[in-house]
Amino acid sequence: MQGLWDMHVHTLWNASVVAPSFNSFLQAGVTSVRDMGGDLAVAQAPRADLATCRLSRPHTWYPGPFLDGPEPADPALSIALSTPDEGRVAVRRFKAEGVDFLKVYRLMRLDILKAVTEEAAVKHLDVVGHFPANGNIADAARAGLSDIEHLAIEIGGYCLFDARERCESIFDELVKARVAQTPKLIARETSTRLGREEFAEASEIADLPPAVQKYWRGERASTKAKATPEWLASRETSLKHARWMTRQLSIKGVVILAGFDAGTAYVLPGSSLHDELGLLVQAGLTNAEALRAATLTPARVMKRPDMGVIKTGYVADLVLLRDNPLSEVNNVRLVNAVFIDGRQVFASAPGS
């Protein structure tokens, strides 16, 4: 089948994270990733390695640091913007740095967001990211974002769980504005599991860089501290609501992209995309619809018409599987070999 795309990862925030994460992507058949913000110097190094064939990497698209409001949610990885003019300057700066798109974060004001998207359109850059803090749904849909991440979780979703009828007009606005969605269901599932007493670390954690282990275990501790029965119940409601929104958006014709937020606590690079595809099917998508969200559709969104299809003259990013994922989506886990640009970059051990 076509190589898989992951449209929301965080692997470029620390140099020690890049190589092990990218290796895990390849083993899982993920041949293209859209990194969603980090250190620009860290981001540029893997691209140079790939260009010189020194290292096997998935194709990587990146935005550089987050663009956020005057008091960023994540100051270490963000550019603070206080005025629309500062937003325009930032767009021009990162275009000159060679980024592939721009990511806006949740504390950006709507007027600055509009300035960013307008300037980005002039520079032929898409703008993706989080729901703006001070905008309503209609304003956000019309602001020029090409896709919104994790179903507007900042405001509890596009509508409340017990007021779902209000989502109808909102989804229509998203369709009209052609705003794609990356639900990231596995990130919600995993962050909820962290709060349960029975949660146990996967053995793969021991192979991850110390910076990752420290961050993840800190997140586990803070989640356990707040995981009251009421908190867990509210999280379960949020999961059900996210699945419902994903299915309804798909029915409406909104573009759905597969991404799983690799880099967040205990969301393992590579294999968690397989989990995400399974959750998309559980939400109500067909196997074919879920697979398209990780192959053909991302290639179109990233304006690569030469990718995402197995066809003469197209980029030969391929995954050899031991069974058909169209009949059972979990068969994407049965990876025998992976090819990027026609070159084999992974083969499973005999008998595995």
CATH of the domain at 157: 3.20.20
Residue 261 pLDDT grade (very low, low, confident, very high; cuts 50, 70, 90): confident
Place of tokens 């700066």: 93
Indicate whether 326 belongs to any domain. no
- Whether 192 shows a pLDDT value over 80: the answer reads yes
- Provide the 10 A C-beta neighbour count for residue 199: 15
Residue 52 pLDDT grade (very low, low, confident, very high; cuts 50, 70, 90): low
Indicate whether 90 belongs to any domain. no
pLDDT at 44: 72
- Whether 14 shows a pLDDT value over 80: the answer reads no
Indicate whether 93 belongs to any domain. no
CA 347/CA 309 separation, integer angstroms? 21
Indicate whether 27 belongs to any domain. yes
CA 153/CA 228 separation, integer angstroms? 20
- With pLDDT > 90 as the criterion, what percentage of the chain qualifies? 59
The model's pLDDT over 314-325, given as tens digits with 9 standing for 90+, comes to 999 999 999 999
Indicate whether 206 belongs to any domain. yes
Indicate whether 88 belongs to any domain. no
Is residue 62 within 8 A of residue 43, CB to CB? The reply is yes
- Written as one letter, the residue type at 159 is C
Indicate whether 321 belongs to any domain. no
DSSP-derived pairing of the beta strands 335-340 and 343-347: antiparallel
CA 68/CA 290 separation, integer angstroms? 31
For residue 329, report the phi and psi dihedrals to the nearest 5 degrees: -60, -30
**Number of structural domains found in the chain:** 1
pLDDT at 48: 60
**Residue 220 structural domain:** 4-62+146-312
CA 149/CA 191 separation, integer angstroms? 16
Indicate whether 43 belongs to any domain. yes
CA 119/CA 250 separation, integer angstroms? 30
